[in-house]
Amino acid sequence: MQRSNMVESAYTASMPDTRLIAHVDMDAFYASVEQHDQPQLKGRPVIVGGSGRRSVVSAASYEARRYGVRSAMPMYEARRRCPDGVYLPVRMSRYREVSAQVFNQFRDITPTVEGLSLDEAFLDLSGVPGAEAPLDIGRCIKRRVHEHTGLTASVGLGPNKLVAKIASERGKPDGLLHIPAGQVREALDPLPVTALWGIGPRTRAALAAAKISTVNELRLAPDAILKALFGNQALHYRQMAAGQDPRPVAARAQERSISQETTFEHDLLTLGELEPPLRRLTEDLCRILRHEGLKAYTLVMKLRTPDLARHTRQRRFTPADHSFTSLYPLARSMLERWLMEHPGQALRLLGVGARDFETAGQLPLFEEGGGRDQRLEAVVDAAQQRFGSQALSRGVPVRNG
């Protein structure tokens, strides 16, 4: 596979780094996987997403981005902007497979890896052999990812998570950028305020009204202005503008969350209409938890109404679990209660997720002493892994009366 030109740069350090954090972001991940698996798509605008009238773009190749197509854009708008694009469905099982290969390479370099999504992670490289030469270890990360997946990644390196993420964004695509501790202010000061976490279009407009458009202007702004703009978060935003971020790279499973969601073609109103998609979502969630060897203590439900208002519900339980027979009744009761609290309210989106994990370890196919439900789920997992997610599924129980 021919690689794109890699952008590589560094700022000369005037003082040693106290930490070395990497932010690794795969380039147009879903679309790049599709181009890798189907080489005839290389160089063509590839858009991955659903086909329904309410579907959105999950990923767009860089060729598609030239037409203005972006992730989360409504699919109808993407087709208007790029009518000759290649539109493909989401293949989540394939993306998870490639993601596992990528994360295996990360963990071979450092055990301290914080996954943000399938295609994005922070790595704490402090004290790792080779960390004294940041660009060399950055090249190593990129090379290993490419050798094992055929894909490219952008790597940002810095003394903390904030700076590392800004560096990776500036280097995209297929870039490598190191911002040492001694040059953080020089690197960040000229950037627009939107380079900082939490500053979106609305906040940018409010800052612009106060004559603040760059990180430097935010860092030097009077306390009274920042207090009026951000309230008790004023100090936090000033520290970000100074490139300060004390957060550690959190490698524990408890820091993660896993979720599945679906947007309906038509709004659904009743529990009877919502039960089938809820079952499928919960089955998918449980299969992912078992595959990754995780048991959750908290089940989360996400609901979105036709007016786009978002609602969430969560329920903590013990012991931790990853079985459909345990999680689905909880999910169903959470949904039933929400519908009772919001009579006559339809839903356009439903999602279920899990967090607060204990590590369960990968389950063998027939674990000795395991119960009937556990053995059944192991069989279903094995069949779906070999023959596809539709190969075997649970039947819907028949209710008497």
Would you say residue 392 lies in a domain?
no
Q: Which residues pair with residue 115 across a beta bridge?
A: 121
pLDDT at 269: 93
**Number of domains the chain is built from:** 4
Question: 3 lies in a domain?
Answer: no
Q: For 355-373, how does the pLDDT look when each residue is reduced to its tens digit (9 = 90+)?
A: 888 754 444 433 433 455 5
Range in 46-55, 94-103, 132-141, 365-374 the model is least confident about: 365-374
Q: How far is it, in rounded angstroms, from Cα 246 to Cα 158?
A: 12
- Please give the average per-residue pLDDT across 31-53, as a whole number: 93
- What integer is the mean pLDDT of 382-388? 50
Round to whole Å and give the CA distance between 15 and 21: 16
Task: Give the pLDDT mean for 175-197.
Answer: 94
Rounded to whole angstroms, the Cα distance separating 190 from 183 reads: 12
Kindly report, residue by residue over 193-210, the tens digit of the pLDDT: 999 987 878 888 999 999
Q: How far apart are CA 335 and CA 160, in angstroms?
A: 40
Burial (CB < 10 A; 0-12, 13-18, 19+), residue 327, is buried
Same domain, 150 and 237: no
| Given 34, 120, 283, 377, the catalytic residue | 120
pLDDT at position 363, please? 42
Question: Residue 147 has which token pair?
Answer: 């050798």
Question: What is the residue range of 325's domain?
Answer: 253-387
Within 8 A by CB and 6+ apart from 287, the residues are: 380, 381, 384
Residue where the block lists tokens 């094995």: 382
361 versus 348: which is more confidently predicted?
Answer: 348
Report d(CA 197, CA 233) in Å as an integer. Answer: 13
Look at residue 171 and tell me whether its pLDDT is greater than 70. yes
Asked if residue 310 is part of any domain, the answer here is yes
pLDDT in the model for residue 55: 81
pLDDT at 357: 82
Which segment, 1-10, 15-24, 213-222, is predicted with the most confidence on average?
A: 213-222
Average pLDDT, the chain: 85
* 84/122 same-domain check: no
More confident residue, 398 or 264: 264
C-alpha torsion sign, points 145, 150, 151, 157: positive
33 and 81 fall within a common domain: yes
Lookup: tokens for 153: 């990644």
Higher pLDDT, 38 or 387: 38
Confidence (pTM): 0.69
Residue 64 near residue 82 (C-beta atoms within 8 A)? yes
pLDDT at 15: 38
120 assigned to active site: yes
What the block records as the tokens of 26 is: 């795969």
Q: What pLDDT is attached to residue 359?
A: 55
Asked if residue 165 and residue 21 are part of one domain, the reply reads yes
Query: What's the pLDDT score for residue 388?
Result: 52
Max distance between CA atoms of the chain, in angstroms, equals 78
Provide the sign of the torsion angle of the four alpha carbons 153, 158, 161, 166, taken in this order. Answer: negative
pLDDT at 6 over 80: no
Rounded to whole angstroms, the Cα distance separating 141 from 125 reads 11
> Does residue 126 sit in the same domain as residue 68?
no
Lowest-pLDDT range of 78-87, 244-253, 348-357: 244-253
Residues 22 and 153 reside in one and the same domain: yes
Based on the domain organization, do 259 and 372 belong to the same domain? yes
Domain-located, residue 282: yes
When pLDDT is cut at 50, 70 and 90, the band that residue 53 belongs to is confident
Both 84 and 225 in a single domain?
no
Return the axis-axis angle of helices 372-387 and 324-341, rounded to nearest 10°. Answer: 90
Same-domain pairing of 21 and 156: yes
The pLDDT tens digits for 267-325 are: 999 999 999 999 999 999 999 888 888 888 899 999 999 988 889 898 888 788 999 99
Residue 6 lies in a domain: no
Across residues 328-355, what is the average pLDDT?
92
Query: Of 17 and 233, which is predicted with more confidence?
Result: 233
Judgement on whether residues 21 and 147 belong to the same structural domain of the protein: yes
**What is the mean pLDDT of the segment spanning 138-144?**
97
Of 59, 25, 43, residue with least CA distance to 152: 25
User: Are 321 and 380 in the same domain?
Assistant: yes
